Amino acid sequence: MADRVPFVDLRPDASLAAELEAAAARVVRSGRYVLGPEVEAFEREIGGFVGARHAIGVSSGTDALIVSLLALGVGPGDEVVVPAFGFVATPEAVVRVGARPVFVDVDPASYHLDVARAAAALTSRTKAILVVHLFGRCVELAALSRLAASHRVALVEDAAQAIGARLHGTQAGALADVGAFSFFPTKTLGGLGDGGLVTTNDDGIAQAARSLRVHGSTQRDEFGRIGGNFRLDELQAALLRVKLRRLPETLAERRSIARGYAVALAAAPLDLPRLSDDDTYNPYVVRVRGDRDALRARLAAAGIETAIYYPRSLTQQPAFAPWRVPTPEADRAAREVLALPLRADAPARIAAVLGRG
């Protein structure tokens, strides 16, 4: 039997490993370990890549969402509109700041929050619309931006899966009032641990986020608001700077594998994700027409690992029971989606298994 195809393999190649080790050694010998020159350089470099005036390194993607919402002044009594399909951290952040998540069902083609349903979900208590650029594809924001502006609510991007994704020439994280990124190892720009980033073009939001990151510090020995410890450390920033330099190559490779899948699986009973050089396929998710779990088992028997993002809609999660509403499209997505390995050898291997009937 041919080699196993793992869903992901995060081990760096030899040249990347050497660069990462050199960066780590530099920090070890520097005596600066939290919020120092590596973090500052990383913020400058990634802010330039994203095209946002401000980039604020934080401890994780989840914390980037919490800091973003706090910086916007979202709190108890407020409502935040969120999609019903995606990762738990998005609505979790809303609850963590004391606000109420208002779940909106998703568009079946993009899995993004449905614009008409989002419009219908707005109330006088709505403080923000939190969109998720799910699976590395930017949410079409034109109508949502107009909606947010006309209702005077903030528009927030959960860009945790979308570094390098674009919408009409603008990068994810520079499309709305504030953006939140994650550097969890499996993301397109993955660290060797946890990390996150807040991006914004708004000076006031940036200032609030910088303050919130260090316990609400407003000046030396003065704490003007309640924040937390949401700091990024020097080691992670130094490692991320190495990974950031390779990001253009990483993105090109991801898009090339997606093109490989489009050719290899053209005749398969699957709905493939849109093919676009604006998208980053983090992860590469298809919709299975037919028995998803049987297909998954066949691939596993052939040594090909797959994953399910996500096996439950957010409204099906027990933690969100207090805010549950019917979301049939999100529930159906949870039954039908399957993530395939984003590896160059995977499209042909999967096509061969499917071709055997």
Ligand X SMILES: *Cc1c(COP(=O)(O)O)cnc(C)c1O
User: Which residues neighbour 180 within 8 Å (Cβ) at sequence distance 6 or greater?
Assistant: 61, 64, 65, 67, 68, 156, 157, 158, 159, 160, 196, 197, 198, 199
Within 253-292, which residues bind ligand X (CB under 6 A)? none
68 binds ligand X (CB under 6 A): no
Closer residue to ligand X in complex, CB, 91/227: 91
238 binds ligand X (CB under 6 A): no
188 makes contact with ligand X (CB under 6 A):
no
Instruction: Please enumerate, as own/partner, the contacts of 176-179 that have beta carbons within 8 Å and a separation of 24 or more.
Output: 176/131, 176/141, 176/145, 176/148, 177/72, 177/202, 177/205, 178/68, 178/71, 178/72, 178/154, 178/202, 178/205, 178/209, 179/50, 179/52, 179/68
Q: Residue 60 interacts with ligand X (CB under 6 A)?
A: yes
C-beta of 161 vs 315, nearer to ligand X? 161
Binder to ligand X among 74, 89, 154, 212 (CB under 6 A)?
Answer: 89
Q: Which is nearer to ligand X, 52 or 299 (CB)?
A: 52
Whole-number Å distance between alpha carbons of 1 and 55: 48
Whose Cβ is closer to ligand X: residue 166's or residue 349's?
166
Which lies closer to ligand X via its Cβ, residue 194 or residue 260?
A: 194
Pairing state between β 154-158 and 126-132:
parallel
| Rounded CA separation 212/280 (Å) | 30
Residue from 5, 56, 62, 167 touching ligand X (CB under 6 A): that is: 62
Please work out the total of residues on this chain that contact ligand X, with binding judged by CB under 6 A: 15
| SS3 state at 199 | strand
Instruction: Supply the minimum distance, in Å, between the C-beta of residue 1 and ligand X.
Output: 33
Q: How far is the CB of 309 from ligand X (least distance, A)?
A: 8
158 touches ligand X by CB under 6 A: yes
Residue closest to ligand X (Cβ) = 61
3-state secondary structure of 104: strand
Is residue 230 near ligand X by the rule CB under 6 A? no
- Minimal distance, residue 68 CB to ligand X, in Å: 11
- Torsion of Cα atoms, 3 then 5 then 10 then 14, to 10°: 30
Per CB under 6 A, the list member of 42, 135, 184, 310 interacting with ligand X is 184
Q: How many CB atoms lie within 10 A of CB 192?
A: 17
Q: How far is CA 344 from the centre of its chain?
A: 22
Contact 118, 144 (CB under 8 A): yes
Q: Which one among 42, 49, 85, 87 touches ligand X, defined by CB under 6 A?
A: 87
The yes or no reply on residue 161 touching ligand X (CB under 6 A) is yes
* Interactions with ligand X, residue window 284-343 (CB under 6 A): none
Window contacting ligand X (CB under 6 A); options: 48-56, 59-67, 332-340, 346-354: 59-67
Q: What is the DSSP letter of 108?
A: T
Which residues bind to ligand X, rule: CB under 6 A? Answer: 60-62, 86-87, 89-90, 132, 158, 160-161, 182, 184, 194, 196
